[in-house]
Structure 1
Amino acid sequence: MKRILLSLTFILAGLQVSLAQVQIRRAMTLMGSQFEITLVDQDSIVANNHIDQAVAEIERIENLISEWRPHTQISEVNRNAGIKAVQVDREVFELTERALYFSKISEGAFDISIAALDKVWRFDGSMEHMPSEAEIQKSIAHVGYPYIELDSVHSTIFLKKPNMKIGFGSIGKGYAADRGRKLMQDLGVPAGMINASGDIASWGQQKDGKPWTIGVLNPFRSHKMIKVLRFNEHAVATSGSYEKYVEFDDVRYSHIIDPKTGYPATGVVSVTVYGPSAEFANGLSTSMMVLGVKKGKKLAKRFPEYRFIIISDNKRIYR
Structure 2
Amino acid sequence: MCLKEINKCVFILGMSILTSLSHAQESRYSFEKGMMGSPFKLVFYAKNDSIANIAAQSAFKRIEKLNEILSDYRDGSEINMLSAQSGSGKWVPVSDDLFNILAISQDISKKTDGAFDATLGPVVQMWRHATRKGVFPQETEIREAMSKTGYTKMKLDSKAKRVFLSQKGMRLDIGGLGKGFAAEEAVKVLKSFGIKSIMMDAGGKIVLTNPPPGTKGWNITISNGSDSLKTMALSHIALATSGPTYRYMEYNGIRYSHIVDPKTGIGLLFHVRTTAISPDGTVADALATAFSVAGIEKSKKIIALFPDSKVWLVEKQGEHVADWNTLE
* Aligned partner of 1:47 among 27, 49, 52: 52
Contact 1:266 1:292 in 2 (8 A): no
The answer for the alignment partner of 1:188 in structure 2 is 194
Determine helix, strand or coil for the equivalent of 1:292: helix
**Cα pair distance change 1:166/1:131, threshold 3 Å:** closer
Which segments of 5 or more consecutive residues in structure 1 lack a partner in the other structure? Answer: none
Contact 1:246 1:254 in 2 (8 A): yes
Q: Which amino acid aligns with 1:51?
A: A
- 1:303-314 alignment, distance < 5 Å: 303-313=306-316, 314=320
**Cα pair distance change 1:308/1:5, threshold 3 Å:** farther
**Cα pair distance change 1:164/1:7, threshold 3 Å:** same
Contact 1:215 1:225 in 2 (8 A): no
Give the C-alpha shift of residue 180 in structure 1.
Answer: 1.2
The answer for the alignment partner of 1:239 in structure 2 is 242
Give the C-alpha shift of residue 304 in structure 1.
Answer: 2.5
CA distance in 1: counterparts of 2:250 and 2:46, whole angstroms: 47
* Aligned partner of 1:284 among 282, 287, 293: 287
Contact 1:123 1:245 in 2 (8 A): no
Are residues 1:204 and 2:207 paired?
Answer: no
**Cα pair distance change 1:65/1:24, threshold 3 Å:** same
* Aligned partner of 2:30 among 13, 25, 28: 25
The answer for the alignment partner of 2:83 in structure 1 is 78
- 1:125-140 alignment, distance < 5 Å: 127=134, 130-140=136-146
Contact 1:23 1:207 in 2 (8 A): no
Q: Which amino acid aligns with 1:105?
A: K
* Aligned partner of 1:215 among 202, 211, 221: 221
Q: Residues 142-198 of structure 1, C-alpha deviation per residue, up to 9 Å, x if partnerless?
A: 111111121223211121111111122111110111111122123211312111111
Determine helix, strand or coil for the equivalent of 2:305: coil
The answer for the alignment partner of 1:61 in structure 2 is 66
Contact 1:198 1:238 in 2 (8 A): yes
CA distance in 2: counterparts of 1:139 and 1:91, whole angstroms: 27
Q: Which amino acid aligns with 1:49?
A: I
Give the TM-score normalised by the residue count of structure 2. Answer: 0.87
CA distance in 2: counterparts of 1:271 and 1:123, whole angstroms: 25
Give the C-alpha shift of residue 253 in structure 1.
Answer: 2.3
* Aligned partner of 2:116 among 110, 115, 132: 110
CA distance in 2: counterparts of 1:121 and 1:93, whole angstroms: 26
Give the C-alpha shift of residue 70 in structure 1.
Answer: 3.5
Give the C-alpha shift of residue 301 in structure 1.
Answer: 3.2
Are residues 1:89 and 2:95 paired?
Answer: yes
Q: Percent identity?
A: 27
Contact 1:247 1:253 in 2 (8 A): yes
Q: Which amino acid aligns with 1:90?
A: D
CA distance in 2: counterparts of 1:122 and 1:214, whole angstroms: 35
CA distance in 2: counterparts of 1:91 and 1:247, whole angstroms: 36
Which segments of 5 or more consecutive residues in structure 2 lack a partner in the other structure? Answer: none
Give the C-alpha shift of residue 265 in structure 1.
Answer: 1.9
The answer for the alignment partner of 2:230 in structure 1 is 227
Note the aligned Cα RMSD (angstroms): 2.3
Contact 1:271 1:308 in 2 (8 A): yes
Contact 1:39 1:51 in 2 (8 A): no
- 1:245-284 alignment, distance < 5 Å: 245-247=248-250, 252-284=255-287
CA distance in 1: counterparts of 2:97 and 2:155, whole angstroms: 16
Determine helix, strand or coil for the equivalent of 1:213: strand
* Aligned partner of 1:163 among 155, 163, 169: 169
Give the C-alpha shift of residue 268 in structure 1.
Answer: 2.3
Give the TM-score normalised by the residue count of structure 1. Answer: 0.89
Contact 1:100 1:111 in 2 (8 A): yes
CA distance in 1: counterparts of 2:117 and 2:235, whole angstroms: 31
Q: Residues 107-135 of structure 1, C-alpha deviation per residue, up to 9 Å, x if partnerless?
A: 1111111112242477858646x544333
Contact 2:30 2:41 in 1 (8 A): yes
Are residues 1:297 and 2:303 paired?
Answer: no
Determine helix, strand or coil for the equivalent of 1:112: coil
- More off after superposition, 73-82 vs 103-112: 73-82
Q: Provide the aligned length of Structure 1 versus Structure 2.
A: 314
Q: Which amino acid aligns with 1:94?
A: N
